[in-house]
């Protein structure tokens, strides 16, 4: 194994925290290796005045990191896997995913739960998936687009009282040691998370066999199976961040269960599918769930949005 590795990371507090965590895992798994971190700004980081759905598309938070991988200026990149397209870019691959953190969404609010939010309460989120499921629960909520880092978004509730609530990922709050700010861990029956939420994807060049083999020491097979089922579902539906699609797979013993939904933007229509099978059927389960939702009419919802 070469003596020095360079990891590419976005510059946000969350991105750097999770990249440093991966760097520590690598140092523990490969004694003596030197690990450096290079900060790379992405288009998604630079454009903060527009909703994600408006500027969305493949590579919003990843293109610049992938370019650095290809030109050899970094050896690996750490991504939130939900930010990556379901198909590997040419010449690159996901070499490892460490153990998943809590995949659920989180409520940060002065109210004790989602269901306690009164009519007219103002909730901040830039996610169409979250917005649709919020409206399905309470169509009288006032939902506003909100961008920025975790502290900025939480501050609009806890400091300025500009918002009554924000919806964030539990995993992000856990990674920066702010799980104490979570008012409610939102149950999947109320809000299914994004595919691969809480999962990190460590991306390398596909031909870097030595590094890929070394990274197997920090790879978690159950996390991989869950992400595979969820991302296969997403690919089968042809949806990205512009389409409200929720997915959550859970491995228990030798069984994997996949819950999924496709929502209309107004939350009036939510199609659901729940399937289970052996862990080794994760990909097939994702394909089956996508077909189940398409049979229910998901193709019409996706076509209407995209």
Give residues with Cβ within 8 angstroms of 305, minimum separation 6. 128, 242, 243, 244, 265
Angle of CA points 169, 112, 172, to nearest 5°: 15
> Is 71 among the residues known to form the active site?
no
Task: Give me the catalytic one of 75, 83, 208, 292.
Answer: 83
CA 50 to chain centre: 19
Residue with tokens 């107004």: 266
In angstroms, the CA 24 to CA 46 distance is 28
Check if the beta carbon of residue 231 is closer than 8 Å to that of residue 118. Answer: no
CA 261 to chain centre: 16
Residue with tokens 């991302």: 231
Q: Which residues pair with 142 in a beta bridge?
A: 122
Residues with catalytic function: 83
């Amino acid at each position: 194994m070469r003596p020095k590795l360079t990891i590419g990371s976005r510059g946000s507090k969350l991105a750097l925290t999770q990249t440093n965590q991966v760097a520590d895992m690598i140092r523990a798994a490969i004694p003596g290796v030197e690990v450096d971190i290079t900060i790379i700004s992405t288009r998604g980081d630079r454009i903060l005045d527009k909703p994600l759905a408006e500027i969305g598309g493949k590579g919003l938070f990843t293109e610049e990191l992938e370019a650095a991988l290809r030109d050899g200026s970094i050896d690996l990149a750490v991504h939130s896997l939900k930010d990556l397209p379901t198909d590997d870019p040419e010449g690159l691959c996901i070499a490892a995913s460490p153990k998943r953190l809590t995949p659920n969404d989180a409520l940060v609010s002065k109210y004790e739960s989602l269901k306690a939010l009164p009519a007219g309460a103002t909730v901040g989120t830039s996610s169409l998936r979250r917005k649709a499921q919020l409206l399905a629960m309470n169509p009288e909520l006032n939902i506003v687009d909100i961008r920025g880092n975790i502290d900025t978004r939480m501050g609009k509730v806890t400091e300025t009282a500009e918002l009554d609530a924000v919806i964030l990922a539990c995993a992000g709050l856990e990674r920066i040691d702010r799980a104490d700010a979570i008012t409610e861990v939102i149950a999947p029956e109320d809000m299914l998370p994004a595919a691969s939420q809480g999962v990190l994807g460590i991306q390398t060049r596909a031909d870097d066999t030595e590094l890929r083999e070394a990274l197997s020491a920090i790879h978690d097979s159950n996390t991989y199976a869950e992400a595979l089922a969820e991302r296969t579902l997403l690919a089968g539906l042809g949806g990205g961040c512009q389409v409200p699609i929720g997915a959550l797979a859970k491995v228990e013993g030798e069984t994997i269960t996949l819950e999924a939904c496709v929502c209309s933007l107004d939350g009036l229509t939510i199609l659901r599918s729940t399937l289970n099978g052996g862990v080794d059927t994760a990909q097939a389960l994702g394909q089956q769930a996508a077909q189940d939702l398409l049979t229910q009419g998901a193709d019409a919802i996706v076509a209407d949005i995209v």
